[in-house]
A and B are shown apart, each in its own frame.
Chain A
């Protein structure tokens, strides 16, 4: 089959690789009909997530048709499914608490040996996202093996277009959980750093959860326009002092909740970010934390900090003093996707949520490398790329 594979810094290719096969009883094989490039795939593209090996198949946002099932899969051939990017067994302590991204049993034991020294514990496996999270092949390919297919994939009605439901695999639940982690109360001001896909869905979710105003922060004009079209107020950090603006826009209080939907590759020319860009390039301290620092400093006293943005390593100059002294609460984590797929599918089917506005480019899988390059280089126009195997 054809698959998009990682070969190093800014080097992805479409290669011919062996087809996947059923290995374990609960597996299924999915014929991919649509897959997307995620903002977090760009961290792999930039080579800032450790544990990647040349030849790894990328892609953790995908859906398709069930073509083969293991003896213990509950899926049936021909069903149309969307697959969560988190691989979770459904029966361990964490899965039963719906903390699916903390699953004990999906990450193979030799891969757990990689992440335990780095993070203290191994997390659940993820599709196509480095050997720290299992080294499973991803879904930017014609076919993909899906472990625990009785727990993860959600069956969607045949008549629904792929593009309406594809983002249940990651970014819609991720934006929703980001807003949920912000514990929004009626009347709240919520500030969201980053108007990429997750930031935009967090904005949409925060408004649905009853925030009085949501303020999106970015510097790409088109992405800011998308945020505005969803009902957010916008702040362009290339033109405005973010901290002062947020204080003024919240009656001098500061946002009740702040959401960092940027993660480890912050943009801009703030002095801390310029230093961290250099450090990341030479491999010292992997994370760039400008957005998170600004969010913590700006958040109101006793406020909530939600971090859906991806971080991989160590962060310097973390404003712990501000966090402690102001009594902030911080919640973060890879998304517990399986917890959200069903309720969010309902919201899509009854028209409460539409995610198709985000898609700016549709390419055949064969042009995947071009998709990565443009999604990386032209973030203003390229807001979301959907790839389809032919």
Chain B
């Protein structure tokens, strides 16, 4: 199934190639504008040119039609995360606020990251950071905010990490579908599916044996 999807994806991406060219020329033109711009309200990670030192920053916001406290409680129990995070092999607690995450990496390998919780506000925020000596330096935050007009909860997850082999590592990771930006987006959507419907959409027409 996934091979099928990748084939279809190539077709769709080909359709978009022309649109990409247009975007590139637009950017070239807009550089002629030397006037200073006021800082806008958008999250920094959506900027056209991002600079966070050696760190890549990725983040995504999603609205889930469930109460904030329920979502927070589910997330805070880290053992639940492997249920919707495809690239998590296991999550082992190693201390009160410490956890080892074993994450799938490109080429069938795994990477261990030990993290500790650095900030927690009940029902609102969980922030964590890799401890010294981890294979990947990373930190992340998940915010839970009430959405407007009873739409449920806005969940915003931000992850900053040092790519294993710089830009090249990130590019290779992207090709393998293990790039945290792509993966994070998919995982938040799976979290939403699980919370809103009790299951995760799967189009396979027969169970995989």
Query: How many residues in B have their beta carbons less than 8 Å from beta carbons of A?
Result: 35
Assess the A110–B207 pair: CB atoms within 8 A.
Answer: no
Assess the A96–B190 pair: CB atoms within 8 A.
Answer: no
Chain A 5-28 interface 0/1 with B at a Cβ cutoff of 8 Å (1 = within): 000000000000011111111100
Judged by DSSP, the binding face of B is helix
B16 / chain A contacts, CB cutoff of 8 Å: 117-118
Interface members, chain A 55-101 (any B CB < 8 Å): 55, 57, 72, 89-93, 96
Assess the A19–B206 pair: CB atoms within 8 A.
Answer: yes
Assess the A53–B206 pair: CB atoms within 8 A.
Answer: no
Assess the B8–A104 pair: CB atoms within 8 A.
Answer: no
Chain B 53-75 interface 0/1 with A at a Cβ cutoff of 8 Å (1 = within): 00000000001010000000000
Q: How far is the CB of A139 from chain B (nearest CB, A)?
A: 11
Whether A26 contacts B199 in the complex (CB less than 8 A), given A21-B207, A131-B4, comes out as: yes
Whether A91 contacts B1 in the complex (CB less than 8 A), given A23-B207, A53-B7, comes out as: no
Chain B 142-176 interface 0/1 with A at a Cβ cutoff of 8 Å (1 = within): 00000000011000000000000000000000000
- A313 CA to B18 CA, complexed, in Å: 13
Whether A96 contacts B189 in the complex (CB less than 8 A), given A114-B5, A135-B4, A136-B205, comes out as: no
Give 21 A-B contacts (CB < 8 Å), ordered by A residue. Answer: A19-B206, A22-B207, A24-B200, A24-B201, A89-B193, A91-B197, A93-B151, A104-B192, A105-B193, A108-B203, A109-B185, A109-B190, A110-B5, A111-B203, A113-B182, A114-B12, A117-B16, A134-B201, A136-B203, A144-B205, A145-B205
* Chain A residues packing against B (C-beta within 8 Å): 18-26, 50-53, 55, 57, 72, 89-93, 96, 104-115, 117-118, 125, 130-132, 134-137, 144-145, 147-148, 313
* Chain B residues packing against A (C-beta within 8 Å): 1-2, 4-5, 7-9, 11-13, 15-16, 63, 65, 151-152, 182, 185-186, 189-190, 192-193, 196-207
